Structure 1
């Protein structure tokens, strides 16, 4: 692991959920019947190792992380598409984590070239700090799109109301917020790094929920 790649998130005081076997529930618009993909579904797909940088929306970056997993595009076309009603259109996908976190992605971004369903980091299985047992990893987007402890994908007709994070969250365009220019948030967000990382790391020592 890298010297500094802390646990981070929007609820840093909450401990990570207990690590359980991979169960990824697919439901929502156009899914004929909700279903759960398991470790076996991932094992039968090609695995890929990729080296990429991780950019947090609060301005810190970790370079050269080595992720191993299944390309989301392969999983989508091999496992999800056969269970979809082709007559039903949907606009976005809501990714859900076992810690209660949710984020919405455009399908275009979810199926990007670098997006992985990651199971390993730097040659070791993911731990509680970084999203065990399964993590969505999308390097071109800020880290808030890379959902830890991934448990579900819900297909939706539109983005749920009341969301303030940027729908696309692309690092290259500094898309940090839905209404505020990204550059205006650099310093306010940077001030959150140390207290957030400290609380999140401390929460690893708290009893897991569930």
Structure 2
């Protein structure tokens, strides 16, 4: 759902959505073949791969939703197109998963990963997206396929999907609990596992202008490298 009022603690951006992420990932240039498969591992009857030919059997959908970064900016009314995770789950993954699966470790080709509750992934707005604003995803925004969870902060919206590992319990590091929340819901301001959401809102807001300058510079550099 999109709104005319920002989510709690957020401000609307003017202009295009910048590339976002932790500094050690922001500058990484990732080039992945459009038909690269996604590995499926973990608590399953057997490992599997998710390929474009399998996704072709799942209906496509498009949504328009606000996109929320934990650093307090929101890109309003971003259009995403791809496959609902719930549809992919029902058509291809549910029969492989063990009954005790509660979380999925989502990993990217750039090395980033995040643990997401299966319950959140089955939300009807969650997509495996390959298009953004009417055009194929570019590398700066997660090509060839990325996870979109509009109800969660951007750190749960993993770019450059590489593998899904199905788990019977959440997995996170101490640093991960400090820098992110196990769930990351926007409406509850779950910015960090430490709680104190208003403190983290203040911390991010004081750094926002500098962060956006750096992120936009990286986006422009990515566009130059990617070419037309």
User: Counterpart of 2:197?
Assistant: 182
CA separation in 1, counterparts of 2:61 and 2:145?
14
User: Counterpart of 1:27?
Assistant: 41
From 110, 119, 125, give the equivalent of 2:136: 125
User: Following TM superposition, by how much is the alpha carbon of 1:198 offset from its aligned partner in structure 2, in angstroms?
Assistant: 4.5
CA separation in 2, counterparts of 1:195 and 1:157?
40
Structure 1-normalised TM-score?
Answer: 0.89
Structure 2-normalised TM-score?
Answer: 0.82
CA separation in 2, counterparts of 1:195 and 1:102?
25
CA separation in 1, counterparts of 2:183 and 2:150?
12
1:36 aligned counterpart, secondary structure: strand
User: Counterpart of 1:194?
Assistant: 212
CA separation in 1, counterparts of 2:59 and 2:73?
31
Gaps of 5+ in 1: none
The size of the alignment, in residue pairs, is 204
2:187 aligned counterpart, secondary structure: helix
Paired residues of 2:20 and 2:26 also in contact (CA < 8 A): no
CA separation in 2, counterparts of 1:199 and 1:43?
36
Gaps of 5+ in 2: 1-13
User: Following TM superposition, by how much is the alpha carbon of 1:101 offset from its aligned partner in structure 2, in angstroms?
Assistant: 0.6
User: Counterpart of 1:146?
Assistant: 157
Distance 1:152 1:64, change over 3 A: same
User: Following TM superposition, by how much is the alpha carbon of 1:13 offset from its aligned partner in structure 2, in angstroms?
Assistant: 4.6
From 27, 32, 39, give the equivalent of 2:52: 39
User: Following TM superposition, by how much is the alpha carbon of 1:92 offset from its aligned partner in structure 2, in angstroms?
Assistant: 1.1
Paired residues of 1:8 and 1:196 also in contact (CA < 8 A): no
CA separation in 2, counterparts of 1:194 and 1:161?
27
- Are 1:115 and 2:126 an aligned pair? yes
Distance 1:36 1:195, change over 3 A: same
1:185 aligned counterpart, secondary structure: helix
